[in-house]
Amino acid sequence: MIIPWQQISPETLENLIETFVLREGTDYGEQERSLTEKVADVRRQLERGEVVIVWSELHETINILPRSEFRG
């Protein structure tokens, strides 16, 4: 189930994005980016609808996925 990011409190959304960014361990090439920059990138992707916040009832987990990968 997609959870609209606009319905999540700002503090909770920030924590969710930070947890996602830290968990992903993404590689940004030669130039490392700060946590703040990575969080801002994910927030912009949410705002543009490129990624969605997904709740899995089966696994009782929440995740951020590219919209193209979400299968409802």
pLDDT tens profile 11-67:
999 999 999 998 866 565 667 788 899 999 999 999 999 999 999 999 999 999 999
CB atoms within 10 A of CB 5: 17
Q: What pLDDT is recorded for position 25?
A: 61
Q: What pLDDT is recorded for position 70?
A: 76
Domains and CATH numbers, the chain: 2-69 (1.10.10.610)
Bridge partners of residue 66, in order along the sequence? 51
Tokens coding 46: 């949410």
More confident residue, 5 or 35: 5
* SS3 per-residue string spanning the chain: CEECHHHCCHHHHHHHHHHHHHHHCCCCCCCCCCHHHHHHHHHHHHHHCCEEEEEECCCCEEEEEEHHHCCC
Q: What pLDDT is recorded for position 28?
A: 59
Q: What pLDDT is recorded for position 26?
A: 59
